[in-house]
Amino acid sequence: MKMIGFIGLGTMGKPMAINLLKKGYTVTVYNRTMDKAYELENMGAKTASTPAEAARNADVLFTMLSNDAVLLETFYSENGIMREVRPGLTVIDCSTVSPETSRKLHDELAARNADFLDAPVTGSKPAAESGTLLFMVGGNKEVLDEHRPILEAMGQRILYMGPSGSGSIAKLAHNTMVGINAIGFIEGMSLAVKAGLDPEQFLQVVLSGAANSRQAELKGPKLLNRDYSTQFSLQLMLKDLLLAGDLTGQYQLPSPLLKAATSIFQMGLSRGLGEQDLCSVVQCYEEWMQKQISN
């Protein structure tokens, strides 16, 4: 059984690493705030004090980090992953980052006879906990096929999207739709409530009709309960939409809905909602209509 390194124990990374431990893998974990690493140590994980140490004895190294800058720092800092890159190592990055960053890391690892897959996920925290994530993977398909059983310890579907960077592009296109759907759902709920409809009854209409979506299913109960605990944070949603905007700019592709959703999440960030769940952006609508979705 392959030795696993895992860097990044946030909302998604922590349950992913736990699922690897549950499937019997030997896992060495690293996180910038070590308390999360110690928690997994009690479950059988080994802990590393630097990213380089997490990579040192790993056959496969996972990274699940918040953005391009943090990912690149984890690779290139004084005690970063690059110190321990060697022939035969495979790095699987599950972060949502730009395709340019994914291709850069792929090419630099290839120059050292190591492999790199960009393999972002969808499913948010509940799917990470249940091991039912979907991985969208870019890179060498033979490398993916070799490591597919490890991904299956954390997810129920692994889709090959194409060469390096393709997984990252798929995730940005996907999250463009997530962000737009979330705003559409919240906007419709706000209209119904402002007009005096019961939010619980209207949510049943949405869930039973053509307006239904995963966002309605996931966020509807959270809105009714004013539960903004994080499944996927507002600031990460905004980060992904901004990356998607960069991508549409490169292709000179008009994206009016993406721009509108991005602007609303930026308003949410300016209200200090960044670390809350993305559905907390409903508070902007509540301010505009001077009424709460639910009490």
The catalytic residues are: 171
Helix (H, G, I), strand (E, B) or coil at 216: helix
For residue 284, the one-letter residue type is C
For the purposes of burial, counting CB atoms within 10 Å of the CB of 64, is it exposed (0-12), middle (13-18) or buried (19 or more)?
Answer: buried
Element (DSSP H or E) covering residue 289: helix 282-289
CA 245 to chain centre: 17
Q: Are 208 and 160 in contact (CB under 8 A)?
A: no
Element (DSSP H or E) covering residue 55: helix 51-56
- Beta carbons within 10 angstroms of residue 34's beta carbon: 15
Read off the tokens for 29: 């974990």
**C-alpha separations of 258 from 51, 93, 180, 244 in Å:** 35, 25, 7, 8
- What are the DSSP calls for 76-144, one per residue? HSTTSGGGG--TT-EEEE-S---HHHHHHHHHHHHTTT-EEEE--EESHHHHHHHT-EEEEEES-HHHH
- Beta carbons within 10 angstroms of residue 233's beta carbon: 20
